[in-house]
């Protein structure tokens, strides 16, 4: 069986990088540096999401489904090394040769991973038979977002049929399916958690996002007739450990 690896990541402002790129006054606090960069970005794009190369990856969480078992894996370690974190993710992908899946791959996870891997001199995984990997789980190679370096299914784009105007948010879909509570914590809250050393909050939040995307992928594969009942049951067991069956709306739609 070809394994599936659904992942999400948390990226916060790269304070050291921002100081260097913008040649900022050393007297500015980290918070002031981040606020300066985000205000500058808002003036350009209308929101404060920084460019991919100026965002530091602090956690990567994955759900692995293979051989009838589902496993939740988070990769950050206490040393906080971004380079080693990214390399651990790439090594995992290289070893297991999965189909990669992410909710917002094309605009979110993939550009950040590519740029930050370049800065960290990480070695990208090599897919030995990408077409076969995709085909065995019901996808054409052309359906993988941005095939360069990290081919991946963009679940959000697939659900919207490539039409950004009809694209849902992960948060809304999860509230309608698996969780009455929001699975998505605002980026600012994660930024503050990182600044305050609250690594546990970052990990828990990212695991909820990864498992939430995994739950949606299970539903999609089952609807397409490409997920066996045993694989579906195994995956849903993991989903229930993160999202207890407390969603009255979802139950009413069953």
Residue 31 pLDDT exceeds 80: yes
Residue 141 pLDDT exceeds 80: no
Q: Is the dihedral of CA 180, 231, 228, 129 positive or negative?
A: positive
Task: Write out the two tokens for 44.
Answer: 């350009």
With cut-offs at 50, 70 and 90, classify the pLDDT of residue 183: low
With cut-offs at 50, 70 and 90, classify the pLDDT of residue 251: very low
- Residue with the bigger pLDDT between 202 and 133: it is 202
Q: What is the 8-class DSSP label of residue 225?
A: T
Residue 134 pLDDT exceeds 90: no
pLDDT for residue 182? 62
Average pLDDT, the chain: 88
Q: Is the dihedral of CA 172, 253, 209, 116 positive or negative?
A: negative
Angle at 190 between CA 5 and CA 217, to 5 degrees: 25
With cut-offs at 50, 70 and 90, classify the pLDDT of residue 247: low
Determine which of 25-34, 68-77, 138-147, 217-226 has the lowest per-residue pLDDT on average.
Answer: 138-147
Q: What is the set of domains in the chain, with CATH numbers?
A: 4-253 (3.30.420)
% the chain with pLDDT above 70: 92
211 φ, ψ (degrees, to nearest 5):
-70, -35
Residue 131 pLDDT exceeds 90: no
Q: What is the pTM of this model?
A: 0.90
Determine which of 20-29, 194-203, 219-228 has the lowest per-residue pLDDT on average.
Answer: 219-228
């Amino acid at each position: 069986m070809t394994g599936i690896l659904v992942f999400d990541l948390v990226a916060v402002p790269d304070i050291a990088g921002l100081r260097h790129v913008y040649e900022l006054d050393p007297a500015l606090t980290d918070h002031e540096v981040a606020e300066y960069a985000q205000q500058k970005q808002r003036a350009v794009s209308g929101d404060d999401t920084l460019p991919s190369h100026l965002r530091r990856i602090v956690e990567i969480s994955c759900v692995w489904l293979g051989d009838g078992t589902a496993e939740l894996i988070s990769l950050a370690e206490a040393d906080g090394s971004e380079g080693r974190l990214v390399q651990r993710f790439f090594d995992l992908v290289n070893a297991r040769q999965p189909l990669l899946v992410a909710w917002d791959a094309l605009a979110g996870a993939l550009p950040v991973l590519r740029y930050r891997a370049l800065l960290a001199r990480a070695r990208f995984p090599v897919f030995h038979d990408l077409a076969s990997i995709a085909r065995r789980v019901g996808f054409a190679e052309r359906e993988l977002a941005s095939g360069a370096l990290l081919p991946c299914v963009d679940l959000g784009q697939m659900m919207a049929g490539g039409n950004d105007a009809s694209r849902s948010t992960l948060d809304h879909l999860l509230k309608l399916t698996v969780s009455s509570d929001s699975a998505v914590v605002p980026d600012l809250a994660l930024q503050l958690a990182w600044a305050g050393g609250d690594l546990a909050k970052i990990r828990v939040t990212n695991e909820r996002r990864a498992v939430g995307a995994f739950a949606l992928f299970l539903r999609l594969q089952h609807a397409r007739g490409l997920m066996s009942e045993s694989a579906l049951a195994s995956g849903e067991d993991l989903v229930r450990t993160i999202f207890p069956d407390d969603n009255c709306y979802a139950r009413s739609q069953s």
